[in-house]
Amino acid sequence: MKNTETRNDISGILLVDKPAGYTSHDIVAIVRKRFHVKKVGHAGTLDPGATGVLVLLLGKATKTSDEHLGREKEYTATMKLGEKTDTGDNLGNIVKTCAVNVKESDIAPVMREFLGEIYQMPPMFSAKKINGKKLYKLARKGVTVERKPRKIFIDELTADKIEIPFISFRVVCGKGTYIRQLAEDIGERLGCCAHLTELRRIRSGDFHISDCVNWEDLMKIDVDLLSSVTRESS
């Protein structure tokens, strides 16, 4: 039957605007199955609730994963002060509430404290592995393990819209930055708890959200047209 065999000739970069409700692994698995591509990987995980630029690597392009993972990322996000969740975002359960005595003028100075090279503790609900086990799998079992802070770099961090308890912000950062953890840490520095309510990756390296294929449109493309939306890997 036509197109049921694994295609080994498709290779390149497929930029997808990931919708909320899917893990990055879900997107990889769906693309692999739908388009019969033997090798599909991604260059930077997005949380299930997050949307935006997901760089998929097809065929031989999977060998360039490390190169793409190390590139700068840009996000827009919204956080809510006064509530802490077990996952750090709005998909989790509220585990703590606290009073919000924050003025708009307090926010910019606190955000400036996070610029440059800082250390960040990886959240338990993350894909990071410790002793070969993914943290989020342990967290789902109620297990918390010791983690070491990781060195990250934040180039830009600005509040775009403030309607307390909500703060919408933009961040440009390096590899390994957890925006959920950043929101929690900002909340703590403001004297209250916080969690992330929205997250959208608008750039990954030189790839912008305007370069991406809408997920619903991609699902309408015939397998023979996949190459028309796939970029060459340098």
- What is the set of active-site residues? 47
| Cα separation, 171 vs 157, whole angstroms | 5
| Cα separation, 135 vs 147, whole angstroms | 10
Give the bridge partners for 75, in sequence order. Answer: 171, 201
CB 90 within 8 A of CB 49: yes
